[in-house]
Structure 1
Amino acid sequence: MKPLVSIITPMFNSEAFISETINSVVNQTYQNWELLLIDDGSTDRTLELANKFIIENSKIKLFKNALNQGAALSRNRGIESAQGDYIAFLDADDLWKPNKLETQIAFMQSNNCDVCFSSYEQINESGKPLNKLIIALPDLTYQKYLKSNYIGNLTGIYNAKNLGKITAPNLRKRQDWLLWLSAIKKSRKPAKGIAESLAYYRVRKDSMSSNKINLLKHNYWVYKKGLGFSTLKSIGYMLIFLNEHFFVKSKQIVST
C-alpha cells in the first residue's frame, strides 16, 4: 500500500480561496492522503465552505481553535494529529498541481531523501499568473539553508516515519523556515529539490512576501529568537542573508 501523506492546512477567514485549495488536494492523482484543516477562529464563511467537503470526503478532518492562535500553533496542532508517513503543508490560499504528491513521493522513495521540495509559480489574488517561476535548488544543505529560506512551504514534504514529527516554534512569521531547518538538521542529509513546478503560490497585497521591510525584520528574529543566536551573530547572518537573497537567490526567479 502506498504511504499515507498528511496535509496540514491552517485557515483564517479564507472564504475567497479555501474551496479551490481543497479541490487541489481532492484532485491529486495520488490518493492516499488525509487533509487536516485547522480553523484559527474564522468569522467569515470559511467553516461553512470547508464543511461541504468534509461531509463528502472522510479523508478531510477539521480542527477548531477556541481562540486565534496564529499559523505556527495551528500548523503544530495539525502535525500532532497527523497519522501519515509523510507530512506536507498547504496554506489556505495556495494551490497544488494534480501530480504534486505523486511526483514528490515517488522522488523521495527513489532518492531515499527525508526532505523534499519543488519549484513553484506565483499567481495573484485572482489566480492569474504573475509569470514568475521559483526554481528549486537540486540539493540544499543545512548551512546553505541558514543563508536564506529556499523552500517554498507549500512544496515541502518531510518523512515523519524517519524523522518523527517536527513542529514549528511559535514565531509570528517565518516559522516554516525554522521547521525545515530542523528537518534538514535531523535528517543529516541535504534536502532534495525537484526542478518541475508542482504548485502555485498566491501573492496577496497583505502578504509578507510583498513587504520587503517586514520580511527583513522577521528574518532577523529567525536568527535571534528562533535559533538563539547572539545579536552580533544575528546581524552577521542578516548580512549573509542579504547577499544571498539579492545576488544568489534572485537567480532562482525567472520569467515565464
Structure 2
Amino acid sequence: MERVSAYATNPESNNFEKFEEPAVARSAERSERSVPKKPLVSLVTPAYNEALILEKNLTILCEYMASLEDEYEWELIVVNDGSRDNTGALAELFARKHSKVRVVHHEVNSGMGQALRTGFDNALGDYVVVLDMDLSFAPSHVERLLDKIRATHADVVTASPYMGGGKVSNVPFIRLMLSVGANWFLGFATKKKFTSITGMARVYDAEFLRSLNLRSKGMDINPEVLHKAALLEARVEEIPAHLRWIPQNDQPKSKRRKSSMTTMKILKHTWAIVFFGFLFRPVMFFVIPSLLFFAISLYSLGWASIHSWTSYQFLIAQGAIATTFDDRISQAVAQAFQSSPHSFVIGGMALMIAIQLFSLGVLSVQSKQYFEEVFNLGTAIYKSTRN
C-alpha cells in the first residue's frame, strides 16, 4: 500500500520522530475533486385528494428518477394541498420508506399556484421539474426536459402537446378546445410562437426561478411565470409532449368528481387567461378595437357624406333659396340627416369611441414601459434580499 511520510514532534523526547500516514484519504479526496458534481433535480408534484393513486404514481416516479441516477441526483417534493382524504398520511408513510421523498402540507386547500410556490420554496435542486400527480404527462418527459434545458441553457422549458410532434389523448373535446384556444390567445398576446403557456409540465433553472416573486394562487401561475420571464427577457424553450388523460371509466370515483369540479372553474380560468393576455400585450385590447370602430365610422360617415352631396346637388338643381355656399351646405346636411339620421349618429359615436380607445392604447404602452422598469428594479431588489 502506498504511504506518505511525515514528521511530528514527540512532546516527551523533544525529538522528531518519523511516522507514515496512509495515502488513501488524500487520494480519495483528490478523486472526489476530479469527478464533476451531478446536478440535483427537484421534482415537485402537487397533490389534492389523490389517495387512490398516490402510492402507485409516487412509486412510478421514484423508479423512473432512480433510472437517471447515473447523471442526476434527485429529490421528490410532494405538496399536500389541504387534501380532505388521507393523501397526507399516505404521502408521509411513503416518504418514511424513501429517503429522497419529502412531503410539505397545507392545512387548507390553497390552490395549484400556492402549492407550486410552496414546492419551489422547498426545492434544493439546480433544476426544478413540475409534473401533475395524475401523470397525464408521463415521467419520461423529465429526461427530455432536462436534456433540453442543459443543451440550450434556457431558463424555462415547457412540455407542449400542441406543437409539431406533440400529441393529445383522451382529453374531452370541450376541454381540449378551451385549452387550445387559451394557448393560442396567449401565444398571440406574447408575440411569441409558444404553443403551451398554460401547461404545468416544465423544468426551470432553479436560480432563475428563485429570482421570481410569484403571486398567483391558482392555475394562472403558469402564464404568470412566462409573463415575468418575458419581462426579464429570459430564454424559454418547448419540447413536443404527449398529454394523456386517463379515460373516465378507468378513473377512481373521487377523481371523476374532481374532474367535474374543475370544469366548474372554467369561467374563472378563462378570466385569468384574458387578464394575462392583457398583461402580456395590453395595446391589442385597445388599438385593435379602435381600428374596428374607426372602420365603422368611416363606413357610416361615408354614407352620410354621399347623402349630403346628393342633397346638395338636388338643391342646386331646384334653385335653392340660400345664396351662399355655406348656407347651401347646411341645408344639404340637414336634409341628409332627416333622410338618414342613423348614418350620422353611428358614424359619430364610432369615431369618438375609436379615438378614445386609440388614446387608451397609447397610454397602455406607456404604462407597460413604466411597469417593466419598476418590475426589473423590484426583481433586482428581491434577488439581493433572498441572497
Structure 1 residue 95, shift from structure 2 partner: 4.1
Structure 2 equivalent of residue 81 of structure 1:
122
Structure 2 equivalent of residue 205 of structure 1:
260
Structure 2 equivalent of residue 155 of structure 1:
201
Give the TM-score normalised by structure 2.
0.48
**1:10 aligned to 2:35?**
no
Structure 1 equivalent of residue 220 of structure 2:
174
Structure 1 residue 207, shift from structure 2 partner: 2.9
Out of 48-57 and 75-84, give the one that drifted further.
48-57
Kindly indicate whether the alpha-carbon contact (under 8 Å) linking 2:158 and 2:202 is maintained by their aligned counterparts in 1: yes
Give the TM-score normalised by structure 1.
0.68
Structure 1 residue 211, shift from structure 2 partner: 6.8
- 1:53-132 matches, cutoff 5 A: 53-120=94-161, 121-122=167-168
Residues 40-83 of structure 1 show CA distances to partners (whole Å, capped at 9, x for unaligned) of: 22121212322232122111111112333222222111111110
Residues 162, 76 of structure 1: alpha-carbon distance in 2 compared, 3 angstrom cutoff: closer
1:154 alignment partner, SS class: coil
**1:143 aligned to 2:184?**
no
Match of 2:84 among 43, 50, 61: 43
Query: Highest relative contact order (Cα 8 Å, sep 6+), 1 or 2?
Result: 1
Unaligned stretches of 5+ residues in structure 2 = 1-36, 162-166, 248-258, 290-387
Kindly indicate whether the alpha-carbon contact (under 8 Å) linking 2:190 and 2:280 is maintained by their aligned counterparts in 1: no
Q: In the aligned structure 2, how far is the partner of 1:141 from the partner of 1:184? A: 14
Residues 158-211 of structure 1 show CA distances to partners (whole Å, capped at 9, x for unaligned) of: 11135534353234332211123223443533x11123x266456833335x87
Unaligned stretches of 5+ residues in structure 1 = 240-256
Q: In the aligned structure 2, how far is the partner of 1:70 from the partner of 1:238? A: 34
Kindly indicate whether the alpha-carbon contact (under 8 Å) linking 1:34 and 1:60 is maintained by their aligned counterparts in 2: yes
Residues 167, 12 of structure 1: alpha-carbon distance in 2 compared, 3 angstrom cutoff: farther
1:151 alignment partner, SS class: coil
Residues 44, 236 of structure 1: alpha-carbon distance in 2 compared, 3 angstrom cutoff: farther
Q: In the aligned structure 1, how far is the partner of 2:244 from the partner of 2:269? A: 20
Q: In the aligned structure 2, how far is the partner of 1:206 from the partner of 1:56? A: 33
Structure 2 equivalent of residue 194 of structure 1:
239
Q: In the aligned structure 2, how far is the partner of 1:238 from the partner of 1:30? A: 49
Q: In the aligned structure 1, how far is the partner of 2:262 from the partner of 2:86? A: 21
Residues 70, 99 of structure 1: alpha-carbon distance in 2 compared, 3 angstrom cutoff: closer
Residues 161, 175 of structure 1: alpha-carbon distance in 2 compared, 3 angstrom cutoff: closer
The AA in structure 2 aligned to 1:174 is: D
Question: Which structure has the bigger radius of gyration?
Answer: 2
Q: In the aligned structure 1, how far is the partner of 2:150 from the partner of 2:97? A: 31
Residues 99-150 of structure 1 show CA distances to partners (whole Å, capped at 9, x for unaligned) of: 322222122212222211223455559xxxx9xxx8x99xx899335x9872
Match of 1:25 among 35, 58, 61: 61
Kindly indicate whether the alpha-carbon contact (under 8 Å) linking 2:132 and 2:200 is maintained by their aligned counterparts in 1: yes
**1:217 aligned to 2:271?**
yes
Q: In the aligned structure 1, how far is the partner of 2:103 from the partner of 2:153? A: 32
CA RMSD, aligned part only?
3.8
Out of 19-28 and 102-111, give the one that drifted further.
19-28
Q: In the aligned structure 1, how far is the partner of 2:234 from the partner of 2:194? A: 19
The AA in structure 2 aligned to 1:192 is: E
Structure 1 residue 85, shift from structure 2 partner: 0.8
Structure 1 residue 152, shift from structure 2 partner: 5.4
Q: In the aligned structure 1, how far is the partner of 2:122 from the partner of 2:89? A: 22
Larger helix proportion of the pair: 2
Residues 159, 108 of structure 1: alpha-carbon distance in 2 compared, 3 angstrom cutoff: same
Larger strand proportion of the pair: 1
> What percentage of aligned pairs have identical amino acids?
21
Residues 67, 86 of structure 1: alpha-carbon distance in 2 compared, 3 angstrom cutoff: same
Structure 1 residue 229, shift from structure 2 partner: 8.2
